[in-house]
Each structure stands twice: as structure tokens, then as C-alpha cells.
């Protein structure tokens, strides 16, 4: 039940694939492997561009692992868990390579955070999104800066406040989370591969400099996301959150 993160490099394209049997959810082990893998690929000269994807043809990512959330017994443990998301987001932000997101299905919570943290995101029409954190008494504090950077404060607040409502992939495209939508996974893969091939043959130094300009103004996220993780780490211990998570797990 632990899941895994794998990667391969072919013709300059590094493909990072994560998997968890519970709808590609993100326990701490997967988060650490994702952050470490992205950092590693950022240093490898044979990786010119990175594609981030999950296994299967259904959910892209179900977000935080409810089992791990329920196992948290202290504020320190809570902060440590949410720092896993912070490290992945900051790893993608600092990586000198462009990262293409391949979103084949629904994205929830931390999954939306992943989609918002890549540099270019392509999805199928089935890739609806939801920030469900408030519904379990927490709030999307750690992924919030990444989501707001892509969707603006209006789009971010719509997702964060109406935490039980799915927003369509078309809505996400209109808000800027997705750059294009496709009818199915085959068409999505074709588009991802075409773009990745073009970038793999582009000037690495030019792409590095361009990425830095895109992320300008986010340099304080090392500190900001630590603060946000502390907020979530405190809230996850509340009786409200414990009861809410238990209700979700029993559905």
C-alpha cells in the first residue's frame, strides 16, 4: 500500500511517475521521493525537460493520505507531514528545467498543488479539480501560494471556500491552471510528447533563465511554506478535523 515514484530519461526527456493504490494519494514517503527525484533531475545534464505524471487512467492525484493524517499525534508531526508538500513545491520551483504536467484525471487538494507547481500543464477533459481541505477542517495553506500564482486570488478563493464542489477541467483551463485540454489520454500523451521533444532540443541555458523570470517574486517561499505547514500541522489535530476525516474514510 506504500506506492512508489519512478523515473526514466530518454532523448533528454525525464519522465517522473508516481503511484499509490488509493487513487494516487500522497503519503509522506511519496512526497519525499518526489522532491528528491525532481532535485536529482535538476542536476542531471542528460535531463533537458521533465514530465510529471501519475499511473493509471483515472485519478491524477487524490491529495493527502487520510491514513497518515489520522496517525498524526502532535503539532511537530503535523508540520513535518505538510512540509512534504512544501518541499515538492519548492523543488519544482527551484528546478532549472521546465516541468510539464500530464493530468489525466481528477486532482484533489495536494494534487491541485502539483498541477499548479509545474511550468506547463496539459490535461484531459476529465481532469476536474477540488480543494477539499476546508471540508475536513484544515484549509489549503501549503498549496495555496502555488494555486493562487496560477489561478489568481479569485480562482483560488473559489476552490478554497466551496471545498466540496468540483470545478470542471474547462474551468481550470479558463483560469490558467491547464494550458490545453484533450479528449482522452492518448491525445494527451501525444501533445505532452510533442512539447517535451521540442523543449529537449531547446537551449538549456535559455530555458533556465526563462524559468527564473516566470518564478520571480516567489523566492520567499522557503520561509512562507514552512509557516503554512505549521498552520496545517496545528489544525489537523483538532477534533473537528479528526471527525471529518473519519466521515470521509467511512464513505
CATH number at residue 124: 3.90.226.10
Q: At 130, is the secondary structure helix, strand, or coil?
A: strand
> Looking at the domain assignment, is residue 223 inside a domain?
no
> Looking at the domain assignment, is residue 192 inside a domain?
yes
pLDDT digits (tens, 9 = 90+) for 181-227: 999 999 999 999 999 999 999 999 999 999 999 999 999 999 999 99
Per-residue pLDDT at 245: 87
> Looking at the domain assignment, is residue 227 inside a domain?
no
> Looking at the domain assignment, is residue 250 inside a domain?
no
| Residue that has been written with the C-alpha cell 476529465 in this structure | 126
Predicted TM-score of the model (pTM): 0.96
> Looking at the domain assignment, is residue 225 inside a domain?
no
> Looking at the domain assignment, is residue 119 inside a domain?
yes
Confidence of residue 32 (pLDDT cuts 50, 70, 90): very high
**Cell numbers for 196:** 517535451
Q: State the residue range of the domain holding 87.
A: 4-200
CA-nearest of 124, 99, 123, 91 to 225 is: 91
In total, how many domains does the chain have? 1
Residue 113 CB burial class (10 angstroms; 0-12, 13-18, ≥19): buried
> Looking at the domain assignment, is residue 245 inside a domain?
no
Residue 128: pLDDT above 70? yes
- How large is the C-alpha radius of gyration of the chain? 17
Using alpha carbons, list the distances in angstroms from residue 46 to 5, 189, 218: 19, 22, 27
CA distance 251 to 247: 6
> Looking at the domain assignment, is residue 148 inside a domain?
yes
Amino acid at each position: 500500500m506504500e506506492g512508489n515514484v519512478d523515473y526514466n530519461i530518454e532523448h533528454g526527456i525525464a519522465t517522473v511517475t508516481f503511484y499509490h493504490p488509493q487513487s494516487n494519494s500522497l503519503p509522506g514517503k511519496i512526497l519525499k521521493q518526489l522532491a528528491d527525484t525532481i532535485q536529482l533531475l535538476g542536476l542531471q545534464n542528460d535531463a533537458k525537460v521533465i514530465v510529471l505524471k501519475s499511473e493509471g487512467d483515472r485519478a491524477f492525484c487524490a491529495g493527502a493520505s487520510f491514513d497518515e493524517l489520522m496517525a498524526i499525534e502532535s503539532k511537530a508531526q503535523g508540520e513535518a507531514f505538510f512540509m512534504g508538500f512544501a518541499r515538492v513545491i519548492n523543488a519544482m520551483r527551484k528546478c532549472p528545467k521546465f516541468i510539464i504536467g500530464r493530468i489525466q484525471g481528477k486532482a484533489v487538494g495536494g494534487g491541485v498543488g502539483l498541477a499548479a507547481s509545474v511550468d506547463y500543464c496539459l490535461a484531459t477533459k476529465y481532469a476536474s479539480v477540488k480543494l477539499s481541505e476546508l471540508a475536513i477542517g484544515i484549509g489549503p495553506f501549503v498549496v495555496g501560494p502555488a494555486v493562487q500564482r496560477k489561478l489568481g486570488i479569485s480562482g483560488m478563493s473559489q476552490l478554497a471556500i466551496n471545498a466540496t464542489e468540483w470545478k470542471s477541467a474547462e474551468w481550470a483551463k479558463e483560469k490558467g491552471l491547464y494550458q490545453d485540454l484533450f479528449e482522452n489520454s492518448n491525445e494527451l500523451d501525444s501533445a505532452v510528447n510533442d512539447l517535451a521533444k521540442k523543449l529537449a532540443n531547446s537551449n538549456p541555458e535559455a530555458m533556465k533563465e526563462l524559468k527564473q523570470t516566470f518564478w520571480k517574486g516567489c523566492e520567499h517561499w522557503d520561509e512562507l511554506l514552512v509557516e503554512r505547514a505549521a498552520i496545517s500541522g496545528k489544525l489537523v489535530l483538532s477534533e473537528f478535523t479528526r471527525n471529518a476525516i473519519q466521515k470521509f474514510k467511512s464513505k
